[in-house]
Amino acid sequence: MGLSTKNGISLYTVDGFCEDGRAGHCFTTRYGGVSGDSGRLLNMSFTKEPDKPANVIENVRRVAAACGFDCSRVTTALQVHGDNIVRVTEEIAGARFSKPETEIVADGLITDIPGVVLMTTHGDCLPVYLYDAKGAIGLVHSGWRGAVERIAGKAVARMAQEFGTDPGNITAALGPCICGDCFIVDPPVAELFEDAFPDVGIMKDAGFSGKYTVDLERAVRIALIEGGVPEDNIFISGECTAAPQNAEIYFSHRREKGTNQGLMGAFMWLETAPPWE
Ligand SMILES: [Zn+2]
């Protein structure tokens, strides 16, 4: 599908992923909401508008209407660039939305409850969608710290532990994120990647000022494959959030030098309960 527009909102979906219709996923874009100075931005982050949570709730309501999910079931966590994975149970479903008093601290969410909508927020960091056709899903926010920590592989292991998921049956999608050309880092970060993923050329000399580039998407792919996800089951968007030509589509922490007035949301949900024929 790539980008498709409904009710004035463009949503990105990863081609080939979850085409059995039992689970839904999307990644939001820049416009179609009520946020920012323009009043048109589709910001998905409470942190970006701490004094206007109603804006974020309205923006999420619009995404829910376009996707057909129940916005009272949207569940999100306070993201801290760590490697904590939380299983979303009925008790905490709706955290930060219909249960504003419930706070989860995590960069990965998993669930097996149909209708619960997992949500993470992104401003260049990679969204990882995980789908077990036996009836479980996961959603991970993997920035560079998460990539070094292999949080995507840890989410796969946690699905195995909690739901009996066979990693070999997982399909994964890597959504839009900063690409391996745009993600320019200083030597200490590059060295962390080289130590975490040795001898695969994960970092490259950027060719100026002693800087390096790092391929976040490739690091996450490696973590998933090491975690037992078959290489052929990993779908990649290839979309770069930080590229200048995508400035009208995505927010980018890097391109906008941290002055971005919003973040994108990644959403994933199980449509119906198994057992499926
Ligand atoms: Zn790029």
Q: How confident is the model at residue 273 (pLDDT cuts 50, 70, 90)?
A: confident
pLDDT in tens, 203-223: 999 999 999 999 999 999 999
The pLDDT of 51-78, averaged and rounded, is 96
Q: Which pLDDT does position 274 carry in this prediction?
A: 75
27 Cα–ligand 1 center, Å: 17
Neighbours of ion ligand 1 (CB under 5 A): 179, 182, 240, 243
Domains and CATH numbers, the chain: 2-179+215-270 (3.60.140.10)
Q: Which pLDDT does position 277 carry in this prediction?
A: 59
Q: How confident is the model at residue 125 (pLDDT cuts 50, 70, 90)?
A: very high
Q: Which pLDDT does position 275 carry in this prediction?
A: 72
Q: What percent of the chain has pLDDT over 70?
A: 99
pLDDT in tens, 5-39: 998 999 999 999 998 889 999 999 999 999 999 99
Please state the pTM of the whole predicted model: 0.97
239 Cα–ligand 1 center, Å: 8
What angle, 0 to 180 degrees and rounded to 10, lies between the N-to-C axes of helices 216-226 and 151-163? 30
Q: DSSP states of 30-98 as a string?
A: SEEEEETTTT-E----TTTSTT-HHHHHHHHHHHHHHHT--GGGEEE-B--SS--EEE--TTTTTBTTT
182 Cα–ligand 1 center, Å: 4
